[in-house]
Amino acid sequence: MPSREERASSLNAQQVALRDCTACSLSLKRTQVVFGVGDAAAEIMFVGEGPGFHEDKQGEPFVGQAGKLLSELLATIGLRREDVYIANVVKCRPPDNRDPLASEIEACSPNLLEQVRTIRPRVICTLGRFATRLIGETDAPISSVRGRAKSMEVAGVPVMVFPVFHPAAALYTPSNRALLEEDLRKLKLLLDRDRKALTSQEDEYVAEVAAVPDEHVAKAEITVASGTVGDDGRSGGERAEQLPLW
Ligand code: SF4
């Protein structure tokens, strides 16, 4: 496994190589490529849509109002921006903050996948529909998959993908902000579960996937249990937490 320094060096090389990218028309009006920021060996990556006005000017993702909200939300689960890695689906600002086009996402997505391959996060939290569609490989509406975890491979890396609303959708809509806060609490549960699974020698982890497929989403849940696992595969009941899957 590459060290944090090796991963940081690799990300730096990718960033330098992308500086003059003209692979799509977003290069025409950008101020600069907004590559990504954070810990090169982060356990968790946050992936948004694309740079906005402030990001384009400053060269860093999520520095505007939505970024401020993201930082506040991270703080509620004990994380700082420097503890995570933050990137976008497209690295250059779409003019007038329009949605990125499919051709632009196709042109830029290899860059995001290379970041994932380098950082090797355990969890990718997708912010909004574009990141969820690309990383989660789904056409399901964000409203039906938000706050649910999915185990999959992204760029050859085994990860849990966890979609939430984009913070911009919560800036002026208190109900969306409440949902984001609720989902971040679940995200912390997911991180704690994974961390414990990696470090614990004694606890048994029971993943129950009771799939009930509907049109878009397999409703399922994972039970994180500590203590002795009984004949029925359930724990002795010392601790059990529920996390929905999709
Ligand atoms: S959005 Fe991505 S592919 Fe398009 S010019 Fe910028 S860096 Fe290159």
- What is the per-residue pLDDT across 80-124, written as a single tens digit (0 to 9) for each? 999 999 999 999 999 999 999 999 999 999 999 999 999 999 999
14, 19, 22, 27, best to mutate for ligand 1 pocket (most atoms within 8 Å of CB): 27
Q: What is the average per-residue pLDDT within 49-67?
A: 97
- Report CA(30)–ligand 1 centroid distance (Å): 9
Would the pLDDT of 35 be above 70?
yes
Tell me which residue has its CA closest to atom 2 in ligand 1. Answer: 108
How does pLDDT run across 118-148, given as a tens digit for each residue?
999 999 999 999 999 999 999 999 999 999 9
Would the pLDDT of 213 be above 90?
no
Let me know whether 62 and 17 are in one domain. Answer: yes
Burial letters 52-81, b for 16+ CB under 10 A, else e: bebbbeeebbbbbebbebbbebbeeeebeb
- Which residues, other chains included, contact 173 with Cβ-Cβ below 8 Å and sequence gap of 6+? none
14, 18, 101, best to mutate for ligand 1 pocket (most atoms within 8 Å of CB): 18
Mean pLDDT lowest among 164-168, 195-199, 205-209: 205-209
Q: Where residue 10 falls among pLDDT bands split at 50, 70, 90?
A: very high
- Which residues, other chains included, contact 100 with Cβ-Cβ below 8 Å and sequence gap of 6+? 26, 49, 50, 89, 90, 94, 108, 130
Would the pLDDT of 234 be above 60?
no
| Residue percentage of the chain with pLDDT more than 90 | 77
Tokens of 132: 């969820």
Let me know whether 105 and 146 are in one domain. Answer: yes
- Report CA(20)–ligand 1 centroid distance (Å): 9
Query: 169, 185, 201: which is the final residue of a domain?
Result: 185
Would the pLDDT of 240 be above 70?
no
Strands (DSSP E) found in 115-230 = 123-127, 150-154, 157-164, 212-213, 218-226
Q: Which pLDDT belongs to residue 196?
A: 66
d(CA 177, CA 179) in angstroms, rounded, equals 5
Q: What is the average per-residue pLDDT within 70-75?
A: 97
Residue 230 lies in a domain: yes
Tokens of 83: 């503890």
Tell me which residue has its CA closest to atom 4 in ligand 1. Answer: 24
Let me know whether 160 and 236 are in one domain. Answer: no
Residue 199 lies in a domain: no
Q: How many domains does the chain have?
A: 2
pTM listed for this prediction: 0.85
Number of Cβ within 10 Å of residue 121's Cβ equals 23
The domain of 163 spans 4-185
By C-alpha distance, which of 38, 34, 69 is closest to 53?
34
Ligand 1 neighbours (beta carbon < 6 A): 18, 21-24, 26-27, 33, 90-92, 104, 107-108, 111
Bridge partners, 221 (sequence order)? 244
Let me know whether 143 and 228 are in one domain. Answer: no
Let me know whether 101 and 60 are in one domain. Answer: yes
Q: What is the average per-residue pLDDT within 212-222?
A: 45
Q: What one-character DSSP code corresponds to residue 4?
A: H
CATH code where residue 175 lies:
3.40.470.10
Let me know whether 174 and 226 are in one domain. Answer: no
Q: Where residue 221 falls among pLDDT bands split at 50, 70, 90?
A: low
By C-alpha distance, which of 71, 1, 72, 60 is closest to 35?
60
